[in-house]
Amino acid sequence: MTEPVRLSKRMSELGLCSRREADEWIEKGWVRVDGQVVSVLGSKVLPHQRVSVERQAAAEQSKRVTILINKPMGFVSGQAEDGYKPAVALVESATRWKEDHVDTQFHPTQLRSLVPAGRLDIDSVGLLVLTQDGRIAKQLIGEDSSVDKEYLVRVQYTKPGKLPDSDLKRLNHGLSLDGKALKPAKVRWQNDDQLSFILNEGKKRQIRRMCELVGLKVVGLKRVRIGGVKLGDLPTGEWRYLRPDEQF
Q: Is residue 116 classed as helix, strand or coil in its secondary structure?
A: strand
Do residues 206 and 199 lie in contact, with contact meaning Cβ atoms separated by under 8 Å? yes
Catalytic choice (121, 165, 178, 233): 121
Number of C-beta neighbours around residue 180 at 10 A: 8
H or E element that contains 68: strand 66-71
Give, rounded to a whole angstrom, the gap between the first and last alpha carbons of the chain: 29
| Helix, strand, coil distribution of the chain in percent, nearest 5 | 25, 30, 45
Instruction: Tell me, yes or no, if 34 is annotated catalytic.
Output: no
Do residues 125 and 221 lie in contact, with contact meaning Cβ atoms separated by under 8 Å? yes
- d(C-alpha 155, C-alpha 192), whole Å: 9
- d(C-alpha 116, C-alpha 79), whole Å: 10
Query: Which of the residues are catalytic?
Result: 121
